[in-house]
Structure 1
Amino acid sequence: MDDRQTVECQPRKSSLKNLRVQWSLMNAYERFEQVIVLALGVIIALVIIMALFQLYRRVLPLLLGGAIDPLDHGVFQTLFGSIFTVLIAMEFKHSIVRPAFRKDSIVQVRTVLLIALLALSRKFVILDSAGTPATTIAALGFATLVLGITSWLLKDRNDQKAD
């Protein structure tokens, strides 16, 4: 084994050792939570992979063949709506798996707010403004504003705690 391989294996060994130590310190319920979180992470990862595969399978041949125009508003909405869906799923998986590796003890509120903001952004991308009542658009805009302000306030509070 060369020096590079030795260096690459050491962090893996130490994190595996760390995981074993943490596992031994957990009670039965905490171990149960870990197993559930990891199982959910695997399921969501599989869904993300399937969604990405379907996106490639549907879009790539059409783009390469020139059958779709990405500048067409309807095509743009569909393409970016699908891309946002994959991004939302990835962030959702991250928010579930992160506590499993003890980087945070609970699901972070800011992460949930980020997912909600991504979902609203996706909604604005796929929204048919001609067929959507103005009150619905205003409500979505207000929800986005409230989530943004809440996220900003939480960020500001966390920054003050760090100082």
Structure 2
Amino acid sequence: MRNERGGLRKDLDAYRLQWRVLGFYERFEQIIAYILSAVVSVIIVVSLWQLIRAVAMLLMAGALNPLDHETFQSVFGMVMTLLIAMEFKHSITRVMVRRDHIVQVKTVILIALLAIARKFIILDPATPPAHIAALAAALVALGVVYWLMRQRDDPVDAAMAEQGKPALMKAAHQRGMERDGDDEDANA
């Protein structure tokens, strides 16, 4: 317990020192990030509660059949909503701990990919084919952009992947994780 207090005290002292060197706008960003984090946390908790309640109601009614299209849509739509909210929270947390000055483009693209995947899950079977084709094109375009950004961000991984050396690729990825902290690539 004493070590935890010492660690917390050091963290608080480091935060106070960091706060003093921040400019007005950087402090403003930090405050907004904390508020957004709290709001998204509330959304996550409420969404999780609604998901648990919906699944419990379906279980009690004996209607939890994953082969039923409407049940599948509602349950997995809620799950995807939770994943999207958690990814938003993760990106906000990275700004709060000053790992990133702004929200990273890769994270925004990942969230957009999740949102389109959610849209595919909750699509009505009567959706016009043109609408589905437009969503598919957007999904492919975002996927290509995300892939290109990953290739740009880590050329070592890309070179090793082409040579077929998964053990070296894994070691390089772990070095990158140590260098960057929790990276959104771990979610991919």
TM-score, normalised with respect to structure 2 = 0.76
Structure 1 residue 75 and structure 2 residue 71: aligned? yes
Measured against aligned partners, the alpha-carbon deviations of 1:98-152 in whole angstroms (never above 9, x if no partner) come to: 21110111110000000000000001111123x1111111111110011011001
Partner of 2:26: 30
- Whole-Å separation in 2 of the counterparts to 1:12 and 1:157: 37
Match of 1:100 among 96, 99, 114: 96
Residue ranges of structure 1 left out of the alignment (5+ in a row): none
- Whole-Å separation in 2 of the counterparts to 1:70 and 1:63: 11
Task: Please list, as runs of the form range in 1=range in 2, the aligned pairs for 1:6-25 lying within 5 A after superposition.
Answer: 6-25=2-21
Count of matched residue pairs: 157
- Whole-Å separation in 2 of the counterparts to 1:103 and 1:77: 36
- Whole-Å separation in 2 of the counterparts to 1:8 and 1:148: 43
Partner of 1:155: 150
Partner of 1:133: 128
Letter in 1 for 2:153: N
Comparing 153-162 with 114-123, which one deviates more in the overlay?
153-162
Structure 1 residue 58 and structure 2 residue 54: aligned? yes
Comparing 59-68 with 25-34, which one deviates more in the overlay?
59-68
- Whole-Å separation in 1 of the counterparts to 2:130 and 2:145: 22
| Greater relative CO (CA pairs within 8 A, separation 6+) | 1
- Secondary structure at 1:114 match in 2: helix
- Whole-Å separation in 2 of the counterparts to 1:74 and 1:147: 27
Task: Tell me how far 1:82 sits from its aligned partner.
Answer: 0.8
What is the CA RMSD across the aligned residues, in angstroms?
1.8
- Whole-Å separation in 1 of the counterparts to 2:85 and 2:28: 23
- Whole-Å separation in 2 of the counterparts to 1:157 and 1:12: 37
TM-score, normalised with respect to structure 1 = 0.87
